[in-house]
Amino acid sequence: MSEQPAAPQAFDETRPPDLLYTEAEEDLRAAVRSLLAARADAAAVIAATGSATPYDRRLWDSLASGIGAAGLLVPEKLGGQGASHREAAVVLEELGRSVAPAPYLTSAVVATEILLALDTRAAPVAALLADLAAGRTTAVLALPPATPAAGAAAALTGTLERTVPSVADAAAADVLLVPTAGGLYAVAAEDPGVSVDPLVPLDLTRPLASVTLTGATGTLLAEAAPAQAAVARGLLAGAGLLASEQLGLAEWCLTETVRHTRERHQFNRPVGSFQALKHRMAQLWLEVVSARAAARNAADALATGSPDAPLAVAVAQAYCSRTAVHAAEECVQLHGGIGMTWEHPAHLYLKRAKADALVYGTAGRHQETVAALMELPAP
Amino acid sequence: MSTAPDAADIRRRTRELLAAHPPATTGPTDFLRARFDAGLAWVHYPAGLGGLDAPRSLQAVADAELAAAHAPDNDPRRIGIGLGMAAPTILDHGTDEQKRRFLRPLWVGEEVWCQLFSEPGAGSDLAALGTRAVRDGDDWVVDGQKVWTSSAHLARWAILIARTDPDVPKHRGISYFICDMSDPGVEVRPLRQITGEAEFNEVFLTGVRIPDSRRLGPVGDGWKVARTTLMNERVSIGGARVPREGGMIGPVARTWRERPELRTHDLHQRLLTLWVEAEVARLTGERLRQQLVAGQPGPEGSGMKLAFARLNQEISGLEVELLGEEGLLYGDWTMRRPEGVDFTGRDAGYRYLRSKGNSIEGGTSEVLLNIVAERVLGLPAEPRDDKDVAWKDLAR
């Protein structure tokens, strides 16, 4: 070849991503962890999954309003905490570790990011944003959870007369953000024209419902063009921070598996002393360590508005999806029989990990994004 | 007591060195000796031994000044074993006389060092080594065979561990020596490896005499001393930032972009998976580097070698397949003795073969997984029956 193409997405020598945690982030983690330990231990979460609305209202109020986690992405002048995706990612690590049902990713990240991408001087946008940031209201995007950021354009179709077959956390939402060909609408869940019908989800800790709109009235938040960009940005942030949830989930699975195999004795030894098992856990540790770097990189890129963010998010999703599933599958296997029971929480993590592997796009979809951004095209 | 020097002191001392010994008019060896004597060789070493008792992080200040002045360096690639392994061991366990005698020519590069540890019968189980050292008056007489010794054919000195007491359990009967590679009992033979070249040597020791004054640490305490050496072997990761596509994935990605006729669907999926894993490994290394800079070193370093070994092997294996007919060719099987090793150098076939060593050298991946499992995760060790048995009674 005579012409050598320059490597795309040239490496930014000037500003390396900050991949560590700040002291403030560690303080936030400690507050969220202690709240979840008090209100959402494994037995409580398993018991709650018996209901189609397993959400704990008091837990959400403490997390969203008490700790202020719902407003982390929102600037102070718009009623939020003026923090960033880095802090929201830490909250999601802890939620992943606990798998407590809470509409944080859907409402406090995706819906909130969509509103932040709109004209926040417009009264309906500002009012809803302030309510979300304060934890008074929750909102979800009325799209199927597997929709990737690249699916934003196709999502703006049809009218307010429609059925969305599957929406995550719809049962916990006060407001639905509904994309249509005419733009993005906010529709109150209590509107008589709205019907939210629970589905039977694989992941019991992130409930799904079908949403049917017949004669509902909504408030137009944005015309189609800005709405499309905003939905794409919301889904990008969702995918990027989902990586942190997956990291927390994988970390729990590894920690519990190590704990179990140190205590469980067979053949007159702790089973964790067998190389066949310990090598698998060491390998998992390496994946968790790597997932942490990938997830922090995505959170930092989103927080700083880096042009590298789409690549950082795609890399993090392609990696962390697989790490979470691998960790949860190893957790079940290395727990032996107890890992197959309803009583032990391992199944909650397996179900969440497998469902998360589809949410906002599979690892394969994200690798296609890598291929496009890095100019590594298919044959 | 004087306080440790700060960045301004280091900068001032470096400028004084450059003024007194202008690199343009000073021979490289003279300049490096002067730099050592000014305490700017390794600033965290003690004063008088090439350092200033300064924080290790301040070395960067001196290095930046010296690089800007185009001062000669000591070619760390050529003397890596001396710098990375022999020097910290001599510093920790050597006598004052040993430190004065050996550290300066080691750092300057006048004397190359090699490491006589591994044996044909003692690889992962290094403490089972059988090279014997027998006391004879003021000397030790050494007989045995060592292997995987890089730089043995260039080295003036070697760090050597040998068995001084076969009647006690293996970890307790070892002593640590500095071996003169010019002794007539030392025979160095190149060890040709699967790439065709010979980076390493076999070293045969026959009646080699080592004065007791060249013993490092107490008799029988050699395993403890060797741990200092081995810990330093794995510290080197986490230095410089690596650019995206900076490792072995780089040449594969370039080939993919430049030669569309080679692309297949299967290769595409594998390439993307490996590209993502290589990028994540790069970020993991970057995170480790940031932790070190922030003074919070984590255990992540033990995992990085595992990750890079597997990635290098899979990426280079993919590259051979991607190249199609060219993948069936090999650059050159000529038996050569390279001065250093370049994992990303030469052609895809070489990279594929050389990377096989990445999961063996410096601790096999299997041993490293044990180390991660036991030291990082706190999993119990396998039951062992070799710890309380005299070395001479072990199965071999």
Q: Which residues in chain A touch residue B264, judged by CB atoms under 8 angstroms apart?
A: 379
pLDDT digits (tens, 9 = 90+) for B27-51: 999 999 999 999 999 999 999 999 9
Any A CB within 8 A of B245 CB: yes
| A69 to chain B, closest Cα gap in Å | 26
The secondary structure of B265-281 as a DSSP string is: HHHHHHHHHHHHHHHHH
To test the contact with chain A by mutation, choose from B245, B249, B258, B287 the residue with the greatest count of A C-beta atoms within 10 A, namely B287
Asked if B245 lies within 8 A of A375 by C-beta distance, the reply is no
Residue-level pLDDT at B3: 75
B91 plus B173 within the same structural domain: yes
Task: Please indicate if any CB of chain A lies within 8 Å of the CB of B382.
Answer: yes
Question: DSSP state, B119?
Answer: B
Mean pLDDT of chain A: 95
Q: Which of A9, A246, A273, A290 to mutate to test the interface with B (most CBs of B within 10 A)?
A: A290
User: What angle do helix axes B7-20 and B59-68 make, rounded to 10 degrees?
Assistant: 30
For residue B145, what are the β-bridge partners?
B204
A99: CB partners within 8 A, 6+ apart: A45, A205, A249, A345, A348, A349, A352
Average pLDDT, chain B: 93
pLDDT at residue A344, as a whole number:
97
pLDDT of residue B233: 64
- Beta carbons of A379 and B260 less than 8 Å apart: yes
Instruction: Residue A200: name the closest of A50, A64, A353 by CA.
Output: A50
Residue B242 lies in a domain: no
CB neighbours (10 Å) of residue B329? 10
Average pLDDT of the residues in B282-296: 88
* Distance between B220 CA and the closest CA of chain A, angstroms: 30
A 239-298 residues inside an 8 A Cβ radius of B: 254, 258, 261-262, 269-270, 272-275, 278-279, 281-283, 285-286, 289-294, 296-297
Per-residue burial over A299-337, b if 16 or more Cβ lie within 10 Å, else e, is bbbbbbebebbbbbbbbbbbbbbbbbbbbbbbbbebbee
For the ranges A19-28, A169-178, B77-86, the lowest mean pLDDT is seen at B77-86
Angle between helices A346-356 and A224-263 in degrees, nearest 10: 150
- Dump pLDDT digits (tens) for B322-374: 999 999 999 999 999 987 677 777 899 999 999 999 999 988 999 999 999 99
What's the pLDDT score for residue B303? 86
Calculate ∠ Cα A214-A219-A225, nearest 5°.
Answer: 100
**Where among B20, B45, B73 does a domain terminate?**
B73
Please give, rounded to a whole number of angstroms, the shortest distance from the CA of B266 to a CA of chain A: 10
Q: Predicted confidence band at B295 (pLDDT cuts at 50, 70, 90)?
A: confident
> For position B345, what pLDDT does the model report?
73
* pLDDT the model gives residue B238: 42
Tens digits of residue pLDDT in B233-260: 655 444 568 899 999 999 999 999 999 9
CATH of A232-373, one of 3.40.50.720, 1.10.8.60, 3.40.50.300, 1.20.140.10: 1.20.140.10
User: What are the tens digits of pLDDT across the range B108-159?
Assistant: 999 999 999 999 999 999 999 999 999 999 999 999 999 999 999 999 999 9
Are residues B198 and B255 both part of a single domain? no
Domain match, B83 and B95 both: yes
Distance, CA of A88 to CA of A244 (rounded, Å): 9
State ipTM. 0.95
- CA atoms of A360 and B191, how far apart (whole Å): 54
Shortest Cα–Cα distance, B144 to chain A (Å) = 32
Q: Which helix (H) or strand (E) segment is A186 a member of?
A: strand A183-188
Q: Is residue B369 part of a domain?
A: no
| Sequence-separated (6 or more) residues with CB below 8 Å from residue B274 | B249, B252, B311, B314, B315, B318
Residue with the two structure tokens 């070489």? B350
Angstroms from A358 CA to nearest CA on chain B: 17
Residue B148 lies in a domain: yes
Q: Is residue B240 part of a domain?
A: no
Structural domain includes residue B24 = yes
- Residue B266 sits at the chain A interface (C-beta within 8 Å): no
C-alpha–C-alpha distance, residues A26 and A73, integer Å: 17
The answer to whether A379 contacts B263, with C-beta atoms less than 8 Å apart, is yes
Of B111, B233, B279, B326, the catalytic one is B233
pLDDT of residue B235: 52
Comparing CA positions, the residue from A318, A118, A152, A315 lying closest to residue A235 is A152
Share of chain A above pLDDT 70, in %: 96
Phi, psi of B115 (to 5 degrees): -125, 120
Q: What pLDDT does residue B234 have?
A: 54
Strand partners, B384: none
Q: Is residue B374 part of a domain?
A: no
Within 13 A of B219's CA, how many CA atoms are on the CB side?
11
Closest CA to A41 of A126, A125, A100: A100
Q: What is the pLDDT of residues A183-236, one digit of tens each?
A: 999 999 999 999 999 999 999 999 999 999 999 999 999 999 999 999 999 999
In a domain, B372, yes or no: no
pLDDT of residue B230: 83
Question: Could you tell me the two tokens for A304?
Answer: 């700083």
Residues of A in contact with B253 (CB under 8 A): 7, 374, 376
pLDDT higher at B3 or A259: A259
Q: Residues 303..362 of A with a Cβ closer than 8 Å to B: which?
A: 315, 318-319
**What is the C-alpha radius of gyration for chain B, rounded to an integer number of angstroms?**
23
Residues 6+ apart with CB under 8 A from A186: A124, A128, A139, A175, A176, A177, A178, A218, A219, A221
Asked if A275's CB is within 8 angstroms of B370's CB, the reply is: yes
Q: Which residues of A touch B270 (CB under 8 A)?
A: none
Q: How far apart are CA A70 and CA A85, in angstroms?
A: 12
Q: Are residues B53 and B120 in the same domain?
A: no
**Are residues B30 and B151 located together in one domain of the fold?**
no
If asked whether residues B253 and B191 sit together in one domain, one would say no
Burial of A174 (0-12, 13-18, 19+ CB in 10 A): middle
**Integer-rounded Cα radius of gyration of chain A:** 21
For tokens 């199965």, name the residue: B395
The strand pairing partners of A175, in sequence order, are: A139, A188
- For A214-266, give the DSSP string: SS---EEEE-HHHHHHHHHHHHHHHHHHHHHHHHHHHHHHHHHHHHHHHH-EE
Long-range contacts of B328-332 (CB under 8 A, 24+ apart): B332/B196
CB A351 within 8 A of CB A101: no
What does the alpha-carbon distance between residue B210 and residue B175 come to, in Å, rounded to a whole number?
Answer: 12
Question: A267-294: per-residue pLDDT in tens?
Answer: 999 999 999 999 999 999 999 999 999 9
Tokens describing residue A71? 């407003």
Confidence at residue B239, expressed as pLDDT on a 0 to 100 scale: 57
Nearest to B174 by CA among B231, B131, B125: B131
**Whether A123 contacts chain B with CB within 8 A:** no
CATH classification of the domain holding B156: 2.40.110.10
Residues in chain B within 8 Å Cβ distance of A376: 253, 256-257, 268, 271-272, 275
Tokens of B370: 């044990």
The DSSP bridge pattern shows strands B132-136 and A265-266 to be unpaired
Rounded Cα–Cα distance for residues A172 and A132 (Å)? 13
DSSP annotation string for A301-324: HHHTT-TTHHHHHHHHHHHHHHHH
Closest Cα in chain A to B293: A20
Q: Which residues pair with B189 in a beta bridge?
A: B202
The sign one gets for the Cα dihedral A173, A163, A228, A126 is negative
Verify that B208 and B348 share a domain, yes or no: no
Domain that holds residue B262: 249-361
pLDDT band of residue A9 (cuts 50, 70, 90) is very low
**Nearest-by-CA chain B residue for A297:** B283
- In the chain, the amino acid numbered B377 is L
| B83 and B14 in a common domain | no
B residues 19-48 closer than 8 Å to A (CB): none
- 10 Å Cβ neighbour count for B385? 8
> What is the nearest CA distance from A226 to chain B, expressed in angstroms?
31
Going B184 to B185 to B186 to B187, the CA torsion angle's sign is positive
pLDDT band at A252 (very low <50, low <70, confident <90, very high): very high
- Are B95 and B217 part of one and the same domain? yes
Residues 6+ apart with CB under 8 A from A233: A113, A114, A117, A149
Q: Which of 18-47 (A) contact B at CB < 8 A?
A: 18-20
What pLDDT is attached to residue B237? 42
pLDDT at residue B301, as a whole number: 78
Q: Quick check: is B243 in a domain?
A: no
Counting the structural domains of chain B, the total is 3
Among residues B36, B57, B73, the one where a domain terminates is B73
Across A10-14, A113-117, B79-83, the highest mean pLDDT is recorded for A113-117
DSSP code per residue over A109-132:
IIIHHHHHHS-TTSHHHHHHHHHH
Tokens of B330: 């090999």
Q: What is the pLDDT of residue A14?
A: 56
Q: How is residue B288 written in tokens? A: 């480790």
Task: Label the pairing between strands A139-141 and A175-180.
Answer: parallel
Averaged pLDDT for residues B376-386 = 94
Q: Same domain for B227 and B144? A: yes
How is B291-313 classified by DSSP, letter by letter? HHHTT---TTHHHHHHHHHHHHH
Q: Which of A84, A121, A101 is nearest to A237 (CA)?
A: A84
| Domain match, B25 and B92 both | no
Cβ-Cβ contacts under 8 Å between A and B: the total is: 147
Q: Is B199 a catalytic residue?
A: no
**pTM higher than 0.80:** yes
- Position A44 pLDDT exceeds 70: yes
- Compute how many other C-beta atoms are within 10 angstroms of the C-beta atom of residue B341: 16
Do B101 and B41 have their domain in common? no
